[in-house]
Every structure is written in structure tokens, then in C-alpha cells.
Amino acid sequence: MFSGAVVIEPIPAAEATGEREQAWMALLAELRSVWKRRTALEAREVELLVEAEETLLYRWLGHANIYAFIETELGYSHHVATERVRVGHELQELQELRGLRHAGELPWSSVRELTRVVTPETEQVWIDAIEGKRADEVQQLVRGKAKGALPTDPTDTTKIRHRIVLVDVSEEALMLYRQARIAVAKDQAGTCTDDDVVRALARAVLEPPAPGDRPSGPRFMTAVTTCRSCKASAIVGAGMEVPLGAAQAARIACDHVSAGDVETSALTRPWARSRRRCGARSGSAIRGSVSCLAVGRAGSSRCTTSWHASTAARTRSGTSR
């Protein structure tokens, strides 16, 4: 039965030699060459867009601003237009990143994320830190960092933001969503952020009204893991791990049901063994017997730890006591 795993069948040695191997090498070389040329062209495009803004080219063509010019003349969305211009201005002060970009060494997604945190003073440190990393690894390194922060600085969970993109929604569903957003705004004196909407919709599903004929309890439970050595805690759910601040962890510790040590518990032992390596303090998956990396400005230190899991109860109002 198909399990969802991808099976890669080895190529017979006879087929991986001679002319076919040479054709593969030529194909690989051309793909890499095209990628580098495209990256360099994107870098040049960003510079030209900044020049178009500074020389008021967009006004000569009758556009109200540079973003309207980019959307109309180049066909980019408004979000892409704003990011192209933002990155272009940032790179004027970051000569090393600019040079790597023109050489085709850094993809757009990596440069876009780096310009959110890198300054001329920290530029070389970040270039050294991202060497050999993929774009998604660069994004993970940048997330939760403020402008001017170093790669080794601790992650500020309040600065981590996510984009929820729905690409296949009917008009009826969109209408209901907008009505829900208006209703949330009315409950909050007319103000409504994206966080408010997501929380309200999630709680409507996760916290249904309790029937009056049976005792009420927590409407849903949230899994939390805590490192015994460095005391770092994180909420776990839906394939994500969200680091908690010290105050949040302390509040949850006041009202939780302990699930024990994930390495010794019969329920969690197989799950713990499948996750032996620990990443940065912000984390990416739950660890069992781990090597926890506690990072800081002065450097990093490792401590071999075990994780124990706890389950935080949610009250009716949706807040942890």
C-alpha cells in the first residue's frame, strides 16, 4: 500500500557511465549557469527600479508612484513591488550583499530576508553565518531577529510573523470570512488585526459551547515541551513549534497536566527517539534525548538534556490560567 514515502530507485551502474553521464553533467552545468544569470539579472532589475524611483520615471509615464509603475509596466503584484523597492534601498548600504547578489551567489529569497536584519556593521558576520545554507535555512536564521541583531542573538518570538495565503476560496466562503472579520471588529470597539481574526475563528472550532447537562472542562488542550536544563519551553501543534517567553511558560506551569518525560514515557518514547538532534533555541521540532543549543551574543553552548512534555489547559475564555 502506498504510504506517502518517495522511493528513489538506483540507476544501474551501466547507465550512469559514458555518454549518459556526460549529458547529465552538461545539463547540470547549464542549469547552474542559467540560475546564476537569472539571479544576477534580478539584482540588476532591483537597482533599475530604485533608479526609476529616484529619477521620477514613473511620473513621466503618468503613474502616481513607483509601485503603480511596477504593477502596470512589469506586471508584478503590489506586495512584490514593495519588496523589490525596499530591498533595492537596503542594498545601497550593504555593499557585500550587493556584490554577492550581482555575482549570482545569493537567491532573491535569501537577500530579501537578510535585508530585514542586516546593517553595514553586521553585514560580514551574517555573510559568514549563511555560507552554505539554503534559502529556507537563511529564513529560519533571520526569523525573530530585529534590525541590527547578530545571527547568534536569541530569537524574539514576538517578532515572528507568518502569512496565511488561501488560493482556492469560493465567493460564499470569502463573504463569510469578511462577515466574521466585521463581527470580531465589533466585539473589539471597531479594531481588528489579522491575529484577532485567526484566534477568533480557531477558538470557534476548538472551543465549542459545552452542553449544559455535563460538567465543563478545558475546551481543548495544548501540548507544551520544556527543556530540563535550559528551561526553554515551546507550544507544539499542527506540525509547528512556537517558542514561549518566560512569563508565558510560568503562567502555563501554574495549570497543566504533566505527561512525564518524553524519553521514558511509553506513549512518547518512539516519538522521542525519532528526534535526536536539537536545532537553535527557537527550534523546529520536538526533541527527545537532545543536544540543546542555547545561543547568545557571546557565542553558543551545548547542554545534553531530556525534554518532558506537559499539557496546558485552556479556560473557557481561551486564555491559560
Supply the pLDDT for residue 85: 94
Task: Name the residue among 234, 237, 236, 246 with its Cα closest to residue 282.
Answer: 234
Q: Quickly state the pLDDT bin for 207 (edges 50, 70, 90).
A: confident
Q: Quickly state the pLDDT bin for 211 (edges 50, 70, 90).
A: low
Query: Over 90: is that where the pLDDT of 119 sits?
Result: yes
User: Hey, what's the cell of 63?
Assistant: 503613474
- For the entire predicted model, the pTM comes to 0.55
The amino acid present at 7, given as its one-letter code, is V
Calculate ∠ Cα 156-158-161, nearest 5°. Answer: 105
Supply the pLDDT for residue 19: 79
Task: Compute the average pLDDT of residues 142-159.
Answer: 87
Task: Compute the average pLDDT of residues 236-252.
Answer: 76
Supply the pLDDT for residue 313: 39
Measured distance CA(293)–CA(295) in Å, rounded: 6
Query: Over 90: is that where the pLDDT of 318 sits?
Result: no
CB-based contacts of 240, cutoff 8 Å, min separation 6: none
Task: Compute the average pLDDT of residues 47-53.
Answer: 95
Q: Higher-confidence residue: 259 or 295?
A: 259
Q: Which of 11-25, 42-56, 121-135 has the lowest mean pLDDT?
A: 11-25
Measured distance CA(80)–CA(49) in Å, rounded: 12
Measured distance CA(31)–CA(113) in Å, rounded: 24
